[in-house]
């Protein structure tokens, strides 16, 4: 087995605090170290999930957190993979542990996000698809979310109420989470009456941009046992696969698809392949899961993940939601944390925060949102430019 132990998990509450990402990440790191019961001096490696909004590249790197915690000689790694940054940072830390380069690794991600929806960085970059879709189409992220929603409505018969019920479910869970930005129940009527952002999606269908931080302390299984953690939560798999040519479904940030005239489309789509690789490495399947934390940039996208994770068949996501299977107390709760619907996006931190939630759930310490008897969970994220990630944690 290639398991590594999760000794500690910590977060800084999400919100719009208007302070430096360094403050959020350092607070999360100290919380994770305290949770692990070890000192900063015991950490031999730091992996930072980078933000692109905090200043020059050298400043937003993993060394920033090492400096803030106090120079002590640990090796440092910096990872940027858009919204998958946190999971790829976890993967880097796991690789170092399994290679014997470090027994204890601190993984940190934090962000100070702008107000409103994300926009491209300044400057002219005509070979950058993210720059092109803003400059040529004016296509913000919600425009893509709306296209995905319309596709589900056309292909599978999903309704506006189905999308609204995803928000209702996640808001109910987020109301129980002290780290969530939005901690208030929401009704389907409130979703329906919120402002239209990109038809058919309303404001409450789309996640916000947020400040926040999350951190994990990972170690070898030998170190964990020596430290008194005989049965820790374990990371069993991390998937970071890329798409397969041809891509016949429009995806962020591209503004065109590949032609399938000469090459048949792959049998497994990109998001589905992310989860499949994680399942294969972990030697388990969707039927073994107790819960899932998925990347709900919009309510409609959460329904897509149900299918991509194999929790139900293609086109059956809304049905799974309607039967209550993905709510707290259901057969397979999804986004028991409240998801991005309750947190908003703090890009480098969100995939780490998902694993924090799995850790607390698998320990049985998630309080009012606890999933009974949780034994295995999966996370799923998708970043711009073909970055995908999924993490499987077990106990």
For 192-209, what is each residue's pLDDT tens digit?
999 999 999 999 999 999
Residue 53 has a pLDDT of 75
Whether residue 271 is predicted with pLDDT greater than 80 in this model: the reply is yes
Which of 53-62, 224-233, 368-377 is predicted least confidently?
53-62
Residue 116 has a pLDDT of 79
Residue 83 has a pLDDT of 92
The whole-angstrom separation of Cα 186 and Cα 170 is 9
Phi, psi of 240, rounded to the nearest 5 degrees: -135, 45
Residue 59 has a pLDDT of 79
Residue 122 has a pLDDT of 77
Residue 310 has a pLDDT of 97
Phi, psi of 362, rounded to the nearest 5 degrees: -70, -25
Other beta carbons less than 10 A from residue 287's beta carbon: 8
Q: In whole angstroms, how large is the CA radius of gyration of the chain?
A: 20
Please state the separation of Cα 356 from the chain's center in Å. Answer: 11
Q: What percent of the chain has pLDDT over 90?
A: 86
Residue 192 has a pLDDT of 97
Please state the separation of Cα 25 from the chain's center in Å. Answer: 16
CA angle 159, 294, 363 (to 5 degrees): 130
246 upstream amide cis, omega within 30 of 0: yes
Whether residue 61 is predicted with pLDDT greater than 90 in this model: the reply is no
DSSP assignment, residue 9? E
β-bridge partners, 334: 292
The whole-angstrom separation of Cα 238 and Cα 133 is 30
Query: What mean pLDDT do residues 218-230 have?
Result: 95
Strand bridging mode 387-394 / 4-15: unpaired
Whether residue 120 is predicted with pLDDT greater than 80 in this model: the reply is no
Whether residue 249 is predicted with pLDDT greater than 80 in this model: the reply is yes
pTM, whole model, 2 decimals?
0.96
User: Is the Cβ–Cβ distance between 111 and 52 less than 8 Å?
Assistant: no
């Amino acid at each position: 087995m290639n398991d590594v132990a999760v000794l500690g998990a910590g977060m800084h509450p999400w919100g719009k605090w208007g302070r430096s990402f360094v403050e959020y990440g350092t607070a999360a790191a100290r919380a994770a170290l305290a949770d692990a019961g070890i000192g900063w001096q015991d950490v031999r490696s730091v992996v930072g999930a980078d933000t692109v909004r905090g200043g020059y590249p050298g400043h937003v790197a993993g060394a920033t957190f090492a400096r803030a915690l106090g120079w002590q000689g640990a090796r440092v790694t910096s990872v940027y993979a858009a919204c998958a940054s946190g999971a790829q940072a976890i993967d880097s830390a796991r690789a170092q542990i399994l290679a014997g380069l470090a027994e204890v690794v601190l993984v940190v991600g934090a962000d100070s996000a702008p107000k409103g929806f994300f926009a491209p960085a300044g400057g002219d970059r005509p070979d950058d698809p993210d720059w092109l879709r803003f400059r040529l189409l004016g296509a913000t992220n919600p425009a893509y979310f709306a296209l995905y929603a319309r596709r589900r409505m056309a292909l599978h018969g999903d309704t506006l109420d189905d999308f609204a019920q995803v928000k209702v479910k996640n808001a109910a869970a987020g109301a129980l989470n002290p780290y969530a930005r939005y901690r208030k129940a929401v009704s389907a009527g409130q979703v329906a009456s919120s402002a239209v952002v990109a038809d058919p999606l309303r404001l409450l269908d789309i996640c916000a941009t947020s400040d926040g931080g999350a951190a994990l302390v990972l170690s070898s299984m030998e170190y964990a046992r020596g430290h008194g953690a005989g049965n820790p939560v374990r990371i069993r798999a991390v998937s970071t696969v890329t798409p397969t040519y041809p891509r016949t479904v429009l995806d962020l940030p591209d503004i065109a698809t590949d032609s399938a005239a000469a090459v048949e489309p792959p049998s497994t789509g990109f998001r589905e392949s992310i989860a499949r690789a994680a399942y294969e490495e972990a030697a388990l399947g969707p039927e073994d899961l107790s819960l899932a934390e998925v990347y709900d940039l919009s309510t409609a996208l959460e329904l897509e993940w149900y299918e991509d994770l194999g929790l139900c068949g293609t086109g059956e996501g809304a049905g799974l939601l309607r039967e209550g299977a993905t709510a707290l107390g259901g057969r397979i709760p999804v986004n028991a944390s409240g998801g991005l619907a309750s947190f908003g996006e703090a890009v480098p931190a969100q995939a780490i925060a998902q694993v924090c939630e799995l850790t607390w759930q698998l320990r049985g310490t998630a309080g009012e949102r606890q999933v009974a008897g949780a034994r295995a969970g999966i996370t799923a994220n998708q970043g711009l430019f073909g970055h995908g990630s999924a993490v499987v944690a077990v106990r």
